[in-house]
Amino acid sequence: MRKYILNPETLLYEIKEVSLRSKLMKGFLLVAGSMALSVLYLWVFTSVLGMDLPKTALLKAEKARWDARVSLMNSRLDRYESNLEALMIRDDDIYRSIFGMNEIPASVRMAGIGGVDKYAYLDGLESSNTLKNTVMRLDRITRMTYVQSKSFDEVAAVSKRAGDMASCIPAVPPIIPDPSKYNLSSRFGYRSDPFTGQAKMHTGVDLAMKVGNPVFATGDGVVESVEFDFFGYGNCVNIDHGFGYKTRYAHLNTISVIEGMKVKRGDRIGDVGKSGRASGPHLHYEVFYKGDRVNPMNYFDLSMSKQEYLDMINRGNGDTAQIPARKSFSVTRR
């Protein structure tokens, strides 16, 4: 590199050689000065003015956009979860109740949530709690939605048989309501036990009658079991009517049905007896709803006329002129 300087004596420009060392020194000073200015600029820009570097600003802007999306997602999840909970309450309290279906336990609705921490991969991220909670909520709502969908499928399937519900509910007496033939010897509720004399809950009604009087199914259903209990119900028939209803006919003398047999309301299932633990000939009749024993008197009316009852039986058995005689058999102790 050449440098020209003015000679004051000759008034001519003369070439002055610059040494390599001088060149390097100037270059070094230039670089060092530039770096010092850059550092000073960054310090003033970030510390004094409190501003971010361009790349940091871009990353923060991107993070803000994602935080806004997560926040919006949580707002929507709040709304979805509220709507889903309303559907769950309506499902249990109305739809499933109408058709005699049991409520879905919380343990089933929440099944598959929890256990092994499959969200551990989110723990190391900044603001991981918000993101982790959002992912967990999404999984939970997805699972609850699936269970609710399956529940509605079940309700829809049962609702297609809703027309059969009226004939399945045990809504008539299990015997011909002829006051000259029976006596309501014991009602549902606490009473003095005829054997021990102690107060005890009586889970059905007792209709005292002579041995051999016919007993009829009080609603359409399937014979769930035919049993013999020497120290209890004796010869006993249990019918599952669906829609949450079951009935029990105990202390029978003979039984006219078998397990798995479909019966219609008014079908003869046996005869009154005094088998098992009975103080005299009578029919012990129980009604179950969703697994709980309920008062049978809430479902039938003993003031129903004898002729109306006989007409019902005859319609259910081909409009015969009288109660059809059926082949019966005695259940022996097993």
Give domain limits for the chain. Answer: 2-48, 74-160, 168-316
The predicted structure's pLDDT at residue 111: 67
For 77, residues 6+ apart whose C-beta sits below 8 A from its C-beta are 134, 137, 138, 141
The predicted structure's pLDDT at residue 323: 37
Q: How far apart are the first and last CA of the chain?
A: 122
State how far Cα 211 lies from the chain centre.
Answer: 46
Return phi, psi of residue 100, to 5°.
70, 25
pLDDT tens digit string along 127-181? 567 888 888 888 889 889 999 999 999 888 887 777 778 889 999 999 999 999 9
> Is a pLDDT exceeding 50 seen at residue 56?
yes
Report the distance separating Cα 264 and Cα 259, nearest Å.
14
Q: How far is CA 7 from CA 12, 16, 19, in A?
A: 5, 11, 20
pTM attached to this predicted model:
0.61
Can you tell me which residue has the tokens 């002055």? 16
pLDDT tens digit string along 1-44? 566 677 777 767 666 666 677 777 877 888 888 888 877 777 76
Beta strands in the chain (DSSP E): 2-7, 12-17, 183-186, 189-192, 199-202, 205-208, 214-216, 221-229, 234-242, 245-255, 262-263, 268-272, 282-289, 292-294
Q: Name the token pair of 29.
A: 């000073």
pLDDT tens digit string along 264-294? 999 999 999 999 999 899 999 999 998 999 9
Asked if 246 and 173 count as a contact pair (C-beta separation under 8 A), the reply is no
Options 3.30.420.40, 2.70.70.10, 2.30.30.360, 3.40.50.10800; CATH of 168-316: 2.70.70.10
pLDDT tens digit string along 178-230? 999 999 999 999 888 877 778 889 999 999 999 999 999 999 999 999 999 98
